[in-house]
Amino acid sequence: MEDFSIIKQQDEILREIEERQPMFTPVQDFSSLEVEYASNPPFQAKIPYLQSKYSGFRRTRGDGNCFYRSFIFSLFEQLIQNKSHLSNPDSPYSQIYSAIKQKVLDSGDILNAAGFLPICYEDFIDMISAKLEMIPTTEISQLEDDFKDKIIADTYVMYTRFIVSAFLRLHADEYSGFVEGYPDIVSFCNSEVDPMNRECEQLQIIAMTEAFQIKAEIEYMDRNDRTETTLMSFPFEYTGPDFKIHMLYRPGHYDILYPNRS
């Protein structure tokens, strides 16, 4: 009975979050953070540093799926914004675009090898492959509309969760030492990766960026006395195209950052 009450309470919290928060806001400047952290001096002190590097940020719903959702949205957004470069084989956008299309097409083999049944992922691959093919004729407003549709938005998140889970399962020997509190990688993935609304930790970020071979730079905002956020890049060793996904991390939450144009 106690477990049921906890589940019911969690469901009510998620429902409230869905009612109050959109999947994504429009891009906004950092003045809203100044208001949000008016009584938090350590966070307030780091905002000017963010303003010096980034023109703004896009909030995403704080439902435990924020990293996965922000990662795939930013990937698609940057490809759409730079679609004029997609036919140039020397462009990093073209190189990422070609690579990610192939990775999605081939991901059924990886998911199958990790133990996922085709019925669980085939529709995801079909939808995302189709969305990738449409990028040359897609506008940002259409991408934003897609993420207002819960079914489409959740498909993106569930697919990326499956990819992260498959990567960790297939590299269990390498990562099994990092799943404190769980007997093995499979148990960790069953509890922390596969279910929706489970927050993303550093291990999942490593797996995501390694699996897709896309670089992510994350500015960590914490309560230390520095006036700068802490920048971390994933994967730790990256030799691919000059393409980056930029995110802001605040305790328990990720949003998308937009670098100043040079």
What are the DSSP calls for 168-235, one per residue?
HHHTHHHHGGG-TTSSSHHHHIIIIISSTTPPP-HHHHHHHHHHHT-EEEEEEP-SSS-SSPEEEEES
Question: Three-state DSSP class for 54?
Answer: strand
Please give the Cα distance from 189 to 179 (Å, whole number): 9
Backbone phi, psi, residue 177, to 5°: -75, 0
Which listed residue (63, 146, 200, 255) is catalytic?
63
Angle between helix 118-133 and helix 92-113 axes, rounded to 10 deg = 170
Catalytic (active site) residue 85:
no
Give the number of other Cβ atoms within 10 Å of residue 110's Cβ. Answer: 18
Catalytic (active site) residue 173:
no
Which listed residue (66, 146, 200, 246) is catalytic?
66
Which listed residue (146, 200, 246, 253) is catalytic?
253
Catalytic (active site) residue 253:
yes
Please give the Cα distance from 43 to 47 (Å, whole number): 7
Dihedral sign for Cα atoms in the order 249, 250, 253, 255: negative
Please tell me what DSSP assigns to residue 242: S
Angle ∠(205,210,211) on CA atoms, nearest 5: 100
To the nearest 10°, the Cα dihedral for 246, 139, 81, 129? 70
Give the DSSP H/E element, type plus range, for residue 249: strand 244-250
Active site (catalytic) residues: 63, 66, 253
